[in-house]
Amino acid sequence: MAAADAVVQALAYLQVHSANDGTSMYDHLVKLVNKVLEDQPSKAVDLLEASLLVKKSTFDAKESSPLVPVPVVPDATQTAAAVSLFGDPELPINRQTGEPYPADPPNEFECENMSGASMVLDCLGVGLGREVGLNVALAAKRIGEDPKLAVKSVRFFGKFMGLYADYYVFEVAFKEGAKAAEGVAAAAPAAADTPAAEGQAPAAASGTGPAGSASAAPEEVPPEAPGTGANKFTYLVCSALGGPLTRLPNVTPAQVKASRRIKKLLTGRLTSHVSTYPAFPGNEANYLRALIARIGAATVVAPTDFYGLNDETEELEAAEDWEPPPGRELAVPSAWVHVRPHLKSQGRCEVFKRELPEDADEDEFYNEDELEEGPDLLASLEEDAQLPGEQAAWTPLYSSSSEAVKKQAGGLRSLVWPGAVCGGREGVWTCVYVGWGVKNAPFVPLPPPPVAAEFDWAAVETQELELKPVPPPEDEEEAED
């Protein structure tokens, strides 16, 4: 095993790609061997010359440079993640007995039928495929059974593609009294995560509103408490299924409003700085969390009549008498409803209103964000706003173009958030997002801030000392002079 591990480590080292041109030493050696076999030089010294020719003719060409930066993570990282996903966890060893400590009993949790969901998406020709779907199910099982996490439910939210690495996102809810994501590393906060820095972000009303519209300052709108609204669930991300997990921070209204005014591709590094205008109050972990809040509020859906709203707790409850419709009937917007509260322009699901002074008119005191009334929970997808040109927000998906095929799947594809889909077949339904995190909306850059006025030096109190007064004359002669 030691020799095999050494070979794997050597191959991983040779396959590390260069950040400049996307090549690796392994690729260069392969091309070198092919060059030598083709030319068959008679002298060993010619090997070096052949190597230089291959490097110059192949790797220096601008046409071979990739348009998108290639991942620089060696393949050994993927191998370690796969071992962790399919293998048994290593238990700590008792130093006194030399035997491993007994494993804790697995945690009981709720999870959707991911194998069936993967089959539904595969029938519709969307998603990640059955092979990756199986790995997703194993990763979700690993998260749910972890006794340290003590999650109540786990769901695969989707995959966000990045320039250097991708994000696999899992949505979890913790049991009452359990410590949130104990044993899971939290995303490193950025310097702009502090309340003072959030207050420096420009005020904005909505993602489509004009600059300078009336809105409460970002620092005046508090974030929603954990377990409520946009922060109802906790999200764990990893770059490789089975790899280390990172907990994303809770989202703030300022981050949601700022993300609506920019368009930025993810890099795959949570600590990366989001270089945009207007400035985003946080790093890529905060930006990813804001995208999840927006996409979840718009695309996390369920079949009609599958859930009911409890009048006392105002929570969703699964209906006992739900009968699954045929697959083709799920390819219309009226067959699906939203199961996440609407994310308002204020950046919250529940509108926050300032304290109304006495003898004040609500319509005059409150701004547009504080008076917004969005769609209710379990609203039908038919009520979604249309795209420009009176184009519907959802387009149908069928597993077969023929209506005579039995037991086929049907669903919808979002045109507002490309990559978001939902579908069902024989009582198994699911919704997932696989995309770049970019909304299908025209991007209108905001104008630069107005030029500052010239500094008024006359209004500043001078700090210069006054001139020393001339002393009075001592005699009359000096006075006459």
- Range 199-217 average pLDDT: 38
Instruction: For the chain, give the secondary structure using H, E and C.
Output: CHHHHHHHHHHHHHCCECCCCCCEHHHHHHHHHHHHHHHCCCCCCHHHHHHHHHHHHHHCCHHHCCCCCCCCCCHHHHHHHHHHHHCCCCCCECCCCCCECCCCCCCCCEECCHHHHHHHHHHHCCCCCHHHHHHHHHHHHHHHHCCCCCEEEEEEEEEECCCCCCEEEEEEEECCCCCCCCCCEECCCCHHHCHHHHHCCCCCCCCCCCCCCCCCCHHHCCCCCCCCHHHCCEEEEECCCCCCCEECCCCCHHHHHHHCCCCCCCCCCCCCECCCCCCCCCEHHHHHHHHHHHHHHHHCEEECCCEEECCCCCCEEECCCCCCCCHHHHCCHHHEEECCCCCCCCCCCCCCCCCCCCCCCHHHHCCCCCCCCCCCCCCEHHHCCCECCCECCEEEEECCCCCCCCCCCEEEEECCCCCEEEEEECCEEEEEEEECCCCCCCCCCCCCCCCCCCCCHHHCCCCCCCCCCCCCCCCHHHHHC
Higher pLDDT, 113 or 182: 113
d(CA 157, CA 248): 13
pLDDT tens-digit profile of 399-410?
A: 998 888 888 999
What confidence tier does 22 reach under pLDDT thresholds 50, 70, 90? low
- Range 329-338 average pLDDT: 94
Side-chain half-sphere of 428: how many Cα atoms within 13 Å?
Answer: 17
Residue 198: is its pLDDT beyond 60? no
Residue 479: is its pLDDT beyond 60? no
What confidence tier does 367 reach under pLDDT thresholds 50, 70, 90? confident
pLDDT tens-digit profile of 410-455?
A: 999 999 999 999 999 988 999 999 999 999 988 888 888 889 888 8
Q: What is the rounded average pLDDT for all residues in the chain?
A: 81
Residue 185: is its pLDDT beyond 80? no
Output the six-digit token pair for 228.
């409520």
Pairing of strands 428-435, 151-160: parallel
Residue 389: is its pLDDT beyond 60? yes
Residue 466: is its pLDDT beyond 70? yes
Which pLDDT value is given to residue 212?
38
Which pLDDT value is given to residue 355?
85
What confidence tier does 10 reach under pLDDT thresholds 50, 70, 90? confident
pLDDT tens-digit profile of 36-95?
A: 777 777 765 666 665 655 555 444 433 344 445 554 445 567 778 888 888 777 777 888
What confidence tier does 197 reach under pLDDT thresholds 50, 70, 90? very low
